[in-house]
Structure 1
Amino acid sequence: MPTESFEPSVTAFMLVKTTSEWLGMSVEQRVEVFTTEILPAITAKVKDVRSRFYDTEFYTARVTDVWVWEARDHQAYQLLVEALRETSFWDRYFEVVELLVGVENGYAKNYGLDTYATINA
């Protein structure tokens, strides 16, 4: 994972659903698996990617979590997916329900337009 700040060119919303194997582990076991199996695989192969996690199981039965990935470029994102597929994360502990990949304000960037977003502080 990167240590410096960067402007991501691609954002991926990874919609996942926990498996019974994941839920059958204690919280301590989950943290152990994540920190010893999944994170090292990512950090060994991927640069210029950062992530955030969102719990959604309170509001939907279709997915339990959304993992938001921001990558400097498409190759960094592709390397991330390849790294995850080689771990127990992919299809053992989590079912990847859907990948939604996009470019923030792509339309405005392509046409040289101003971007608009709402911010209420």
Structure 2
Amino acid sequence: MRMTIFLLLNASPGWLRLGRKERSRLAADGLKPFVRNGLSLRHFDAEAFHADYSDVAMIEAETPEAYYFAIEQLRDTALITEGYFSVAGIIPSYENGFRTYEAAHAV
């Protein structure tokens, strides 16, 4: 089953102080692990609508290992090591997982 993981993120004031070109460059470098190895990434801005999270990343992964390895790589990027973003929550899920369960356990 393909996993969908929601990362609830917070941007730091240091990130917001960077110019938009520099932010774009750092994001492109930092998010490379999520555009390979059977992963996909979608980004959602939330700061205008939510006080606890500034951003939500939706990651789809073919395997838990692919997701895990991408997170390990992300932790080595400036997005995390320089404190530009912190992970405030992680919600792993399976889209319509109950249907897969019901199909596997049909009577």
- Is the TM-score greater than 0.5? yes
Q: Structure 2: any 5+ residue segments left out of the alignment?
A: none
Match runs of 1:1-121 below 5 Å: 9-35=2-28, 37-40=29-32, 42=33, 46-90=36-80, 92-112=83-103
Cα displacement string for residues 50-91 of structure 1 (whole angstroms, at most 9, x for unaligned residues): 010101111111001100000111111111111111112226
Q: State percent identity of aligned pairs.
A: 26
CA separation of 1:24/1:39 partners in 2, compared to 1, >3 Å: closer, same or farther? same
Count of paired positions: 103
Q: Structure 1: any 5+ residue segments left out of the alignment?
A: 1-7, 114-121
CA separation of 1:9/1:19 partners in 2, compared to 1, >3 Å: closer, same or farther? same
CA RMSD across the alignment: 2.0
Would you tell me which structure has more helix in proportion to its own residues? 2
One-letter amino acid of the counterpart of residue 17, structure 1: N
Cα distance in 1 for partners of 2:38, 2:69 equals: 10
